[in-house]
């Protein structure tokens, strides 16, 4: 069955960096766009970034552009989110999700990122 | 960016009664290929979101048939024919027509009266 497992969430100080990983199984990873979506405490869902099945195209929300970098390794069935210059407003649960036919059909369980001094 | 507006924000419902959630987009969601990429998601307390409906009215595998989606253009609706206790949670619509900026609605909280 399809599985998406995020890791890498942590407590980090403002200005710090973090790298999230998402390991997937149960489908042909290289056939699918992948994305990161976040949810701040008590708030709704926000697109962060997505990446095409072979590494392009790539999209970033304006709120993270220039600070976050998405990448993928099709040989390792993994997608990553490098987060630099973290701010308090980046505090959220970060979900890895599979894009299929202009929708999200599978979500991971999420990993918690807390930015606080 | 396309703005997705859901209403109501909160929806108290009696068990066994119907519920209806509205989602309006700031632009038509009809894609140039003729499809309309509007999806609905359910997020139960403490869980990840789960997709219920894609392309306006197609139910995902395993989704009870009490859930139905309808609409066209800029106006869409998710209906629950008879609310059950397990339906408590927050429901989100999402548009996938206008790339690169895909957008979610703000969410509607369904709770039992």
Query: Which positions in chain A touch B35 (Cβ < 8 Å)?
Result: 102
* Nearest CA distance, A103 vs chain B (angstrom): 6
Q: Least CA distance to A62: which residue of chain B?
A: B101
Confidence of residue B101 (pLDDT cuts 50, 70, 90): confident
A105 touches chain B (CB under 8 A): yes
Per-residue confidence of chain A (117 residues) as pLDDT tens digits? 999 999 999 999 999 999 999 999 999 999 999 999 999 999 999 999 999 999 999 999 999 999 999 999 999 999 999 999 999 999 999 999 999 889 999 999 999 999 999
Render pLDDT for B42-77 as a digit per residue (tens, 0 to 9): 999 999 999 999 999 999 999 999 999 999 999 999
Q: Does A103 contact B at CB distance below 8 Å?
A: yes
8 Å CB contact between A39 and A91: no
Q: How confident is residue B100, by pLDDT bands cut at 50, 70 and 90?
A: confident
* Alpha-carbon dihedral angle through residues A95, A96, A100, A106, given to the nearest 10 degrees: -70
Of B94, B100, B101, the CB nearest to A57: B100
B27 has a pLDDT exceeding 90? yes
Q: What's the rounded Cα separation, in Å, for the pair A60 and A89?
A: 16
- Classify A88 in phi/psi space as left (phi over 0), alpha (psi -120 to 50) or beta: alpha
Q: Which of B50, B60, B104 is facing A44, going by the closest CB pair?
A: B104
Residue A101, pLDDT score: 85
Q: What is the mean pLDDT of residues B13-36?
A: 97
The pLDDT score that the predictor gives to residue A114 is: 98
The mean pLDDT of chain B is 97
């Amino acid at each position: 069955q399809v599985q998406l497992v995020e890791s890498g969430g942590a407590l980090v100080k403002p200005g710090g960096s973090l790298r999230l990983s998402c390991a997937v199984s149960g489908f042909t990873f290289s056939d699918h766009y992948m994305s990161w979506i976040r949810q701040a405490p008590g708030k709704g869902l926000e697109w962060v970034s997505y990446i095409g099945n072979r590494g392009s195209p790539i999209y970033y929300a304006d709120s993270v552009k220039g600070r976050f970098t998405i990448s993928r390794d099709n040989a390792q069935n993994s997608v990553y989110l490098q987060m630099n210059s973290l701010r308090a407003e980046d505090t959220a649960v970060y979900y890895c999700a599979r894009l299929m036919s202009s929708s999200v059909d599978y979500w991971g369980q999420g990993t918690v990122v807390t930015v606080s001094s | 960016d396309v703005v997705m507006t859901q209403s109501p924000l909160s929806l108290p419902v009696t068990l066994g009664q119907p519920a209806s959630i509205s989602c309006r987009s700031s632009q038509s969601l009809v894609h140039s290929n003729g499809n309309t990429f509007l999806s609905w998601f359910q997020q139960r307390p403490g869980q990840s979101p789960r997709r219920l409906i894609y392309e306006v009215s197609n139910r995902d595998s395993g989704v009870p048939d009490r859930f139905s989606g309808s609409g066209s253009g800029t106006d869409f609706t998710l209906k629950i024919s008879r609310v059950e206790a397990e339906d408590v949670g927050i429901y989100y619509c999402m548009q996938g027509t206008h790339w690169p900026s895909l957008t979610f609605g703000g969410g509607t909280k369904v709770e039992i009266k």
